[in-house]
Amino acid sequence: MKLNITLLTQFVLTGLTHPPQWKVPLFLLFLVIYLITIVGNLGLIALICNDPGLHIPMYLFLGSLAFVDTWLSSTVTPKMLLDFFAKSKLMSLSECMIQFFSFGISATTECFLLAAMAYDRYIAICKPLLYPVIMTNRLCIRLLILSFVGGFIHVLLHEGFLYRLTFCNSNIIHHFYCDVMPLLKISCTDPSLNYLMLFIFSGSIQVFSILTILISYTLVLLSILKQKSIKGIKKAFSTCGAHLLSVSLYYGSLLFMYVRPASPQVDDVDMMDSVFYTVIIPVLNPIIYSLRNKQVKNSLQKILRRNA
105: closest CA among 141, 76, 82, 78?
Answer: 76
Cβ atoms 67, 279 nearer than 8 A = no
pLDDT digits (tens, 9 = 90+) for 178-220: 888 888 888 888 899 999 998 899 889 988 998 999 899 889 8
Q: Is residue 98 part of a domain?
A: yes
- DSSP 8-state secondary structure symbol assigned to residue 267: -
Q: Is residue 30 part of a domain?
A: yes
Q: How many CB atoms lie within 10 A of CB 24?
A: 11
Q: Is residue 295 part of a domain?
A: yes
H/E stretch holding 160? helix 137-162
Contacts of residue 36, defined as CB under 8 A and 6 or more positions apart, other chains included, come to 283
Burial of 75 (0-12, 13-18, 19+ CB in 10 A): buried
| Mean pLDDT, all residues of the chain | 83
Most confident of 91-105, 229-243, 286-300: 91-105
* pLDDT top residue among 222 and 240: 222
Burial of 170 (0-12, 13-18, 19+ CB in 10 A): middle
pLDDT digits (tens, 9 = 90+) for 43-92: 999 989 988 888 889 889 999 999 999 999 999 999 999 888 887 778 88
Start-to-end Cα distance in the chain = 80
The pLDDT, as a whole number, for residue 297 is: 75
- Domain that residue 33 falls in: 10-307
Specify the range with the lowest mean pLDDT, choosing from 80-94, 113-127, 227-241.
Answer: 227-241
Q: Is residue 4 part of a domain?
A: no
Q: Is residue 5 part of a domain?
A: no
When pLDDT is cut at 50, 70 and 90, the band that residue 266 belongs to is: very low
* pLDDT top residue among 186 and 228: 186
Q: What is the CATH number of the domain that holds 73?
A: 1.20.1070.10
Apex 108 CA angle, 33 and 41, nearest 5: 35
CA distance 101 to 95: 10
Q: How far is CA 161 from the centre of its chain?
A: 22
What value does the mean pLDDT take over residues 260-268? Answer: 52
pLDDT digits (tens, 9 = 90+) for 4-44: 455 677 888 887 767 778 888 999 999 999 999 999 999 99
Q: Is residue 264 part of a domain?
A: yes
Q: Is residue 1 part of a domain?
A: no
Total domains in the chain come to 1
Q: Is residue 2 part of a domain?
A: no
Q: In what order do the strands lie in the sheet with 172-173?
A: 90-92, 10-13, 172-173
- DSSP 8-state secondary structure symbol assigned to residue 175: S
